[in-house]
Structure 1
């Protein structure tokens, strides 16, 4: 078995053949991974509730309970699968890629089964079928998403290249979102009604696209960072837990990511009422979605050169500060028209797009930091802990939008909302994001320790430790 080291000197590669250099194939492969993930993830996020309520006849409250239970279970499944992955040895194709290949087929099949409607069954059958198929799909999603997310840290150890992977991952998610958003309603609904057979057809179409993307991810990506067996240290749960608790970069980025995710969910929920009731222009919502996607695609080519010059932490922090300022300005401009509001908010969207783009590169860095602290290379475990926290946050944050809207006095029975309720909706859509983005900026600047200089030093220190 021959050993080959990268030119950067920061990777230990064990392989039976010469490993090609990191390049566009890896970036496209990683893009296809999240492209495949989000064909079903966004389909489920956007349309599964209406499928359950309108086709299966399940009450919205019961669907909410199902989503809460499933997300909490998914959080446990993430950590369990992450620990399992870290106990496996790397094979010829690497440590993580083989699991994407093996588990993507049952994942896609379970996704299609979620949208299969058997006519003439009882309400109890449909409820049980929904619980079983959704929870099975969520569990299988962990078996693909955890190795996929962990794989970024072994495709390359170079900080700039990891930023590229994070950017391309975001691009894959946005492309899937565009396709589902545009074609989903055309496929799934007839005369504004959810049709069971159309949902099954949509699931099959998106399932074929999803499995194709997973295979492209498997074929195009190459794992390079592999710890030689002779130098691997035995996994120790106690040591792992202590290392995670001492991992300041991980803890701070977890908090920042949770706050960002909850703010995104709040904005998604509140914007519907903002444009429908405050601006009396619900049609503008489609324009908001387009602008948000455009902001990300404009930011993507700028992210790598900015990270190269200033660092991930620094780039994301400035973006958060810009967003905070923009949303604060919007709070003090309550008389803008809907179009004026969208134009100004687009600058804020552009600002927080940078955090969204580099967040997965942050995760690869905290995986390296865990190895530096503990001597254990546990990509799956650290990534799954990050994913666990996000899933718990999603479960808790699921009702934030509805609770916040109710708290400001929104009354669905009123044709026109009170001025107090309208002012409250405007505050939720402007001041609250401004405060949250400012808090994330503070966390990145004062709590997240991996500056550009320290990240470079960490890379060098790890390379030296792996040689000894």
Structure 2
């Protein structure tokens, strides 16, 4: 078997590259597709997002436990599921963007519910094994951190492609166009399936767990461990609030540029600048974490982002490009967390192992995905309700002045408040600072060495 190397890193990059073609498309543009093409009420769309994400959250945990109960086959434990489920996932993604003209509002609502929930369920069947796979590609913590960085790079590449090209392809004369949305979905679907196949071909699952020694009926012990795991609890809460802030800002951002600035083409620049901040942060993240620690770097980044978005709230008269330029500084701040977030997951997995003696990468990853889905659910629900609350009316050519001001507030002050909460959690509540994280890794290494010595004695 070939040692861990460049092919694994490239293959793992392709996994999130494939994931984010549709994830970014859905997160950024599905709301405006439903309101402006299907002509659904924003509040009803918010209800759909809430219900679907809550269902997906349950599906994530169920699928994670299912995967943990499977034995590894010839091609590994996780890779086969990526191969099997990626095709129906991509097909369901394209189905979301099919518009049949002349149907009733009830038909469009039902069609949106069925196709969106189907896509979200199938997304779990690919994303959970993909995210869990890092623990079996390599057993080395440093190599796993490298995989996290490459994963982030794959995600940002897809976000860059979708964010820059989608506004140019899917809007005609500043309006959402049904045929162009479908064309974009097909193109991104082809890119997604190609990426999943590259992930399957290039990665190797090297770490094979001994399933014969796995204790049965341990879920109660797992949950008790979760309840005592303070790093896991505060990391999950911080991630939930962060994702909630980010998703609301992203969903409202479409309307900010479409209606407040009257410039949907500038959305391409938003994605370009956002991706650039992550790329700039990539070579900085590792030395910053090495010197200060993950907790410390994340807290500083969130504080910077809080200040920037609050300043934007106080500057309602800036141009679209000025808004993009200033917000990029804040995006750089919270992207420092995005770059190391998967390493945080590894830390809380280690802490869980130290508490319970159980190494449950897939289960903890699925619960993290559960938290993310809850955040998406709440963001979709709150975003739709908030748009309705500020008076957004998709039938109007020009929104009212109060609605435009409300959209600006939702895009600036709301994320500023959320980001400040996340800063406070990491700065004052999350317990694993640089020193404690290093000590935890050393303690676990010693325990494993002693356990292995006992088996060979």
TM-score when normalising by structure 2 = 0.84
Structure 1 residue 462 corresponds to structure 2 residue 444:
yes
Please report how far the alpha carbon of residue 212 of structure 1 lies from its aligned counterpart in structure 2 after TM superposition.
1.1
Structure 1 pair 340/165, CA: closer, same or farther in 2 (3 Å)? same
Q: CA deviation at 1:264?
A: 1.2
8 Å contact kept, 1:153–1:364: no
Change (3 A) 1:435 1:204: closer
Among 230, 254, 258, the alignment partner of 2:240 is 258
Q: Is 1:20 aligned to 2:34, yes or no?
A: no
For each residue in 1:141-169, what CA deviation from the matched residue of structure 2 results, as whole angstroms up to 9, or x when unmatched? Answer: 10111111122233345444333322322
320-329 vs 166-175, which moves further = 320-329
RMSD in angstroms over aligned alpha carbons? 3.5
Question: Displacement of 1:353 after TM fit?
Answer: 1.0
TM-score normalized with structure 1 length: 0.82
What is the CA–CA distance in structure 2 between the aligned matches of 1:93 and 1:84, rounded to whole Å? 18
State the distance in 2 between where 1:83 and 1:156 align. 21
Change (3 A) 1:145 1:452: same
Query: Equivalents in 1 of 2:218, 2:370: separation in Å?
Result: 20
Change over 3 Å in CA distance of 1:63–1:323 after alignment to 2: closer
The Cα shift of 1:215 comes to: 1.3
Q: Distance in 2 between matches of 1:452 and 1:177?
A: 31
Measured at CA, do residues 183 and 282 of structure 1 come closer, stay the same or move farther in structure 2, by a change above 3 Å? closer
Structure 1 residue 33: deviation in Å?
A: 0.6
Asked if 1:344 corresponds to 2:315, the answer is: no
| 1:379 correspondence with 2:361 | yes
Deviations 1:376-415 (A, max 9, x none): 2222221111111221222122243455566678899786
Which of 19, 28, 46 is residue 37 of structure 1 equivalent to?
A: 19
Matched-pair contact (CA < 8 Å) for 2:29–2:254: no
Contact 1:275-1:338 within 8 A present in 2 as well: yes
Equivalent-residue separation in structure 2 for 1:313 and 1:34 (angstroms): 24
| In structure 1, distance between residues paired with 2:255 and 2:105 | 32
Match of 1:318 among 276, 300, 308: 300
Q: Quick one: which of 329, 352, 363 aligns to 2:345?
A: 363
Show structure 2 runs of 5+ residues with no match.
Answer: 452-457
Q: CA deviation at 1:308?
A: 2.9
- Contact in 1 for aligned 2:45/2:384 (Cα 8 Å): no
Q: Secondary structure of 1:90's match?
A: coil
Instruction: State how far apart, in whole Å, the 2-side matches of 1:433 and 1:51 are.
Output: 23
Are 2:85 and 1:103 equivalent residues in the alignment?
yes
**Aligned counterparts, 1:63-462, within 5 A:** 63-116=45-98, 127-185=109-167, 187-188=169-170, 198-229=180-211, 231-271=213-253, 284-330=266-312, 339-401=321-383, 403-404=385-386, 417=401, 422=405, 428-462=410-444
Give unmatched runs, 5+ long, in structure 1. Answer: 1-17
Q: Indicate conservation of the 8 Å contact 1:72/1:395, yes or no.
A: yes
Structure 1 stretch displaced more, 381-390 or 285-294:
285-294
By how many angstroms is 1:170 displaced? 2.2
